[in-house]
């Protein structure tokens, strides 16, 4: 598996390749001529439009139930976009339901990583914040999967400026190892002050692949215990965020030669793009996107892949 960020003007090169599991667009056109599944998110980078490319072995691509997916015998990438104007709980449940039927049906029974973007994340839906409605639907859709021995994925959930709900995932043939953060309460055990159902994700998932441990780190923010830190102080939030990222890597048992393969940051306001990044996080290829972090007091969220 490899992860690259490509400028949008190199699209034709990507469309011709046969080793791509999935392409995620940020500020890129909706059209796509390639065989690989493509999801055009409504998120926009702080710089020029970019494609994120997840490449693997020679891939088989297909579409079922509106889910575009590809698999290479080890990993499966799947993406679905659904209109986000319906009640958010049902949209979330439908999206997860379709993705799970496809992934499990193809023999990739373990979700490792999920990305979820939808508009108006703080808006109200039947008296409850849309993010909290999303959590209700996700929880309902994952119930059966968890009962069958499925594992919660690492995840990112970000508010987009417009568009559909897009859900894209990586699933694996074998289970990952969930890594939680000792500085944080597990999200799936958050108290109900954050909504009637908790967000079903783990802080990171570790997968053994190609002789190495691959650590997929969830969207990580300035939360300690279950509480947001330093509202209104973006630099202090960044320090807590990097402390959380460091803590996850320390818990994951990766080799001393580990490296940060790729990072994405989501910033609520453009100022977030001017923060300075400590090592090792500042070294990796990075994509900085404008987005609404799912708690309104948080200005920054960072995700990463470390191998």
Report whether 264 contacts 225 (CB < 8 A): no
Considering only 32-40, 92-100, 154-162, 280-288, which stretch makes contact with ligand 3EB by CB under 6 A? 154-162
For residue 70, the cross-strand partners are 61, 77
With CB under 6 A as the contact rule, the residue among 26, 110, 201, 216 that binds ligand 3EB is 201
Tokens of 2: 């490899």
Nearer Cβ to ligand 3EB (56/97): 97
For position 95 contacting ligand 3EB by CB under 6 A, the verdict is: no
Min. distance of Cβ 304 from ligand 3EB in angstroms? 12
Instruction: Give start and end residues of each alpha helix (H) in 167-264.
Output: 234-251
Min. distance of Cβ 149 from ligand 3EB in angstroms? 21
Rounded-to-integer distance, Cα 204 and Cα 113, Å: 9
Find tokens 């393969």 and name the residue. Answer: 261
Residues 278-297 that bind ligand 3EB (CB under 6 A): 294
Instruction: Give start and end residues of each alpha helix (H) in the chain.
Output: 11-15, 88-105, 130-147, 234-251
For position 199 contacting ligand 3EB by CB under 6 A, the verdict is: yes
Min. distance of Cβ 295 from ligand 3EB in angstroms? 6
For position 156 contacting ligand 3EB by CB under 6 A, the verdict is: yes
Min. distance of Cβ 201 from ligand 3EB in angstroms? 4
For position 166 contacting ligand 3EB by CB under 6 A, the verdict is: no
Rounded-to-integer distance, Cα 139 and Cα 65, Å: 21
Nearer Cβ to ligand 3EB (81/221): 221
For position 155 contacting ligand 3EB by CB under 6 A, the verdict is: yes
Angle subtended at Cα 25 by Cα 28 and Cα 177, rounded to the nearest 5 degrees:
170
Nearer Cβ to ligand 3EB (41/156): 156
117: Cα within 13 Å, side-chain hemisphere: 26
Report whether 28 contacts 40 (CB < 8 A): yes
Q: Where are the beta strands (DSSP E) in 29-98?
A: 38-41, 44-45, 50-55, 60-64, 67-71, 75-82
For position 187 contacting ligand 3EB by CB under 6 A, the verdict is: yes
Nearer Cβ to ligand 3EB (27/153): 153
Min. distance of Cβ 179 from ligand 3EB in angstroms? 14
Considering only 21-29, 101-109, 153-161, 275-283, which stretch makes contact with ligand 3EB by CB under 6 A? 153-161
Residues 215-254 that bind ligand 3EB (CB under 6 A): 218-219, 221, 223
- Among left, alpha and beta (phi > 0; psi -120 to 50; other), residue 209 is beta
3-state secondary structure of 289: strand
Nearer Cβ to ligand 3EB (222/275): 222
Rounded-to-integer distance, Cα 180 and Cα 162, Å: 32
Considering only 22-30, 139-147, 150-158, 253-261, which stretch makes contact with ligand 3EB by CB under 6 A? 150-158
**Which residues in this chain contact ligand 3EB in the complex, by CB under 6 A?**
155-157, 187, 199, 201, 218-219, 221, 223, 294
């Amino acid at each position: 598996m490899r992860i690259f960020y490509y400028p949008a003007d190199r699209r034709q090169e990507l469309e011709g390749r046969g080793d791509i599991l999935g392409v995620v667009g940020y500020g890129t056109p909706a059209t796509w001529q390639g065989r690989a599944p493509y999801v055009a998110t409504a998120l926009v980078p702080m710089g020029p439009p970019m494609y994120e490319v997840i490449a693997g072995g020679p891939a088989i691509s297909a579409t079922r139930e509106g889910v575009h997916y590809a698999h290479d015998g080890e990993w499966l990438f799947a993406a679905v976009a659904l209109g986000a104007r319906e009640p958010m709980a049902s949209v979330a449940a439908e999206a997860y339901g379709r993705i799970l039927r496809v992934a499990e049906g193809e023999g990739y029974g373990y979700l490792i990583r999920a990305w979820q973007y939808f508009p108006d994340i703080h808006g109200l839906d039947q008296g409850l914040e849309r993010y909290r409605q999303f959590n209700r639907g996700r929880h309902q859709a994952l119930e059966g999967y968890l009962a069958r021995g499925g594992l919660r994925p690492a995840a990112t959930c970000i508010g987009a400026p417009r568009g559909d709900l897009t859900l894209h995932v990586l699933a694996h043939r074998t289970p990952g190892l969930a890594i939680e953060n000792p500085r944080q309460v597990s999200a799936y055990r958050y108290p109900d002050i954050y909504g009637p159902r908790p967000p079903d994700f783990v802080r990171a998932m570790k997968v053994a692949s190609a002789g190495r441990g691959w650590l997929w780190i969830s969207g990580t923010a300035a939360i300690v215990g279950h509480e947001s830190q330093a509202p209104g102080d973006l630099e202090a939030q960044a320090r807590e965020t990097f402390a959380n990222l460091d803590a996850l890597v320390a818990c994951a048992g990766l080799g001393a030669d580990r490296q940060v393969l790729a990072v994405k940051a989501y910033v609520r306001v453009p100022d977030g793009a001017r923060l300075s990044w400590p090592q090792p996080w500042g070294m990796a290829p990075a994509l900085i996107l404008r987005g609404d972090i799912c708690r309104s007091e948080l200005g920054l969220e960072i995700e990463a892949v470390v191998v």
